[in-house]
Amino acid sequence: MLVDELKSFLHGDVAVDDATLAKFSRDYSLFKVRPQMVVFPKDVDDVKNLVKFAAKKKAEGEDVSLTGRSAGTDMTGGPLSQSIIVSFTKYFNHIHEIKEEARDQKRPGMAGTDAAASLEAGEAKAEPGVYYRDFEKEAAKHGLLYPSYPASKDLCAIGGIVNNNSGGEKTLAYGKTEDWVRAVKIVMSDGEEHTLWPWRGEELERKLEEKNFEGEITRKLKALIEENWDVIQKAKPDVSKNSAGYYLWNVWDKEKGIFDLTKLIVGSQGTLGMLTEAKFGLVKIKKHSRMAVIFLNDLKWAGDLVEEVLKFHPESIESYDDKTVEVAVKLWRQVLKSMKGNAIKLGFQFLPEMWMVATGGMPKMILLVELAGDDEAQLIKRLDQLKRDIEFFGASHGGIKVRTLKNEEDEQKYWTIRRQSFALLHNNTTGKDTAPFIDDFVVKPEYMPEFLPKVNAILDKYKNDLIYTIAGHPGNGNFHIIPLMNLKDPRVRALIPKISEEVYRLVFQYHGSITGEHNDGLIRTPYLEEMYGKKMVELFAEVKKIFDPLGIFNPGKKVGGDLKYSVEHIAATQ
C-alpha cells in the first residue's frame, strides 16, 4: 500500500482518516476534491524523499502527484488534489530570522506610488507553514511589516502568500509579493532542494555552465524567454497587479543582466516545486495613519477621483459598494461582533448607514483612503489638504462627499465592513452559499467608470439567482465580487461558467487580468488561453515541462486546466 511505503521513509506523518481527508478536500473556493492522503513532512529530507518517491511512481506509470498546502485559505481550489496533499503548517512553521537593516527599499519597476522608496527596513526568512498572524507579531517587535499581506492575514500562511503572489490593501503603495521575495528554497522535480535568488554577471554565467538540474533549467528557460521575447513582453497584462499565469516577463531583465527564477516561483501555486523557505523584504511600520472616507454617488467619476487621491501617495485606497453596506446593515449584529468595544456605542455608529438604506440615499461607492507617516502634524495637514482637494474636485463633478476621521475608533466601522465583507457573506443567513468565481478581476483604474456598470449589467441579468456585492482596491482597479448563490441547484451551478465567460470577455476587452491576487487554481486556469492567447499558454506548458517533466506537482493548475473537471467538482453546498 502507498501509505505503508510512505511511512517506511517519512519522519513526519501520513493521514488517511475521514476527518483529515474531509478537511483537506476543501479550501475557501467553490470546490471539493477528496485527496488520497495527507502527508505532514517533518524536514527537508521528507520533502525530497516524497518527490523522489512520486517521480519513481510516475516512471512506473502510477498516477501520483504532490500538492503543497499551507493554511488552505486559497479561493481557487489551488491546494486541492485527488492524490497526495503535502501540508506544511504542522512542522514547517519556524521563523528563521527577522533582521533590521537600513537600506534603500525601492524596487525596480514597482507598480504603485513611491511610498516605499528609501525606507529603512529589514528582511526575514521563514518556512512556508508559518501563519502570517504569528509572523506579523514577531516582525512588529522589530517595528517591521511585510507590506503585501492579504485580507486573509489572520488565517493564511507564508507558503500561500508566496505561491499565490498575494497582495492586499497596501499593494497600491508597496507592490505585490513578487516585489518582496528575495530568495526561495524549493524542492524541485530532481528531488533536491535548490536555493534561488536573482543571478547576474559571473554568477549567472557560472549557473548557465553548471552540468546539473539548476544549470539545465536556467539554460532552457533563458533560451525560451529569448526566443519568444516579443510574444512574452506583449503578453504582460496592462494592469498594476496580476496573479494569472507564469510571469515570464519578470524573469530576465536584459538591461540589468539579472536572471531571477524567484519571479517564476512566486505565484506558481506549487506547480513547479515544493517551497521549503522564503526570504523576503520588510518595511518599517509608519508611526501614524489617518483615514478619509469618500462617498461617491456617480461611478462615472471613480477613475478621475482615484487619480486625484493618488497624488497624496496613500498607503491604501479600499472600496465597497452600496450593496455591501446593505448586507452589513442587515447583518449588523455580526458586524458588531467583529468590532472591539462597547456594542451599544458601536451600534449607534451604524445609524447613518441604516438611515441611508432606509431612505435609498446610499452612495454607489465608498472609498477608504489611508495616509500614513511618522510626523503626525504633517500627516494631519496632508489629510486636510486631501479633503479640500477632493471637495474642490467634487464641486465641479457633483455627488461627492468627504469625511476625515480623527481616530482609530472612528475608522473601525469602515475597516470592519471592508475587511469582513467576505466573512459577512460567508456567514449569511439567506441559505445561499458564497461563490467565489469572478472574485478578483483587474482593469486599469481609468476604465472603472465604464467597466463597472457593464459588470453590474451582466450580473443583474442573473439577479433571481444571485446576490452580489463589490468591494476592492480601486487604486489598482482590482475588484472582488463573491456572489451568494444556491449551489445545491445544478441549474445555478451551471451558471458559473456562463457568467465567468461573460465577465471575463469584458475584462479582456479592457486588457485586464482575470486575477489580481487570488490566482488561477481550478477556477481560472481554464481561462488562461482566452486571456493570454494560444502561444503564451503553450509557453506556460513548456515552462512546466522544463521544471516538472513528469508532472509531479499540483496538476491541472496553471497548465492543463479542464473546465469540465472544475464544474464537476463544485461542492453542492459550501
Ligand X SMILES: Cc1cc2nc3c(=O)[nH]c(=O)nc-3n(C[C@H](O)[C@H](O)[C@H](O)COP(=O)(O)OP(=O)(O)OC[C@H]3O[C@@H](n4cnc5c(N)ncnc54)[C@H](O)[C@@H]3O)c2cc1C
Q: Which residues bind ligand X (CB under 6 A)?
A: 27-28, 67-75, 78-79, 88, 128, 150-152, 156-157, 159-161, 163-164, 166-168, 269-270, 274-275, 422, 517-518, 554
Question: CB-wise, 191 or 363, nearer to ligand X?
Answer: 191
Cell of 535: 502561444
* Cell numbers 462617498: residue: 295
Q: Which of 200, 219, 208 is nearest to 257 (CA)?
A: 200
Residue 303's nearest CA partner among 444, 511, 174 is 444
Separation of alpha carbons 366 and 282, rounded Å: 30
Q: How far is the CB of 275 from ligand X (least distance, A)?
A: 4
157: helix, coil or strand?
Answer: strand
CB distance 228 to 284 below 8 Å: no
* Least CB distance to ligand X at residue 69 (A): 4
Least distance (Å) between residue 189 CB and ligand X: 13
The residue behind cell 468595544 is: 341
Nearer to ligand X, 52 or 222 (CB): 52
Of residues 308 and 548, the one with the C-beta less far from ligand X: 548
Least Cβ distance, residue 526 to ligand X (angstroms): 16
Q: Torsion-angle region of residue 310: left (phi > 0), alpha (psi -120 to 50) or beta?
A: alpha
3-state class (DSSP) for residue 437: coil
Q: Is 64 or 156 the residue whose CB approaches ligand X more closely?
A: 156
Our CB check for ligand X shows the closer of 168 and 512 to be 168
Pair 239, 512: CB distance under 8 Å: yes
CB of 395 to ligand X, least distance (A): 34
300 vs 518, beta carbon nearer ligand X: 518
Instruction: Give the separation between CA 121 and CA 144, rounded to whole angstroms.
Output: 7
**Which of 91/249 has CB closer to ligand X?**
91
> Cα separation of 64 and 75, whole Å?
24
Which residues have a Cβ under 8 Å from the Cβ of 221 and sit 6 or more positions away?
Answer: 251, 261, 264, 543, 546
CB-CB contact of 136 with 153 (8 Å): yes
Select 58 or 387, whichever has its Cβ closest to ligand X: 58
Q: Tell me the closest approach of the beta carbon of residue 202 to ligand X, in angstroms.
A: 31
Q: What is the smallest separation between the CB atom of 111 and ligand X, expressed in angstroms?
A: 14
Smallest separation (angstroms) from ligand X to the CB of 157? 4
Measured CA to CA, the distance from residue 462 to residue 491 in angstroms comes to 12
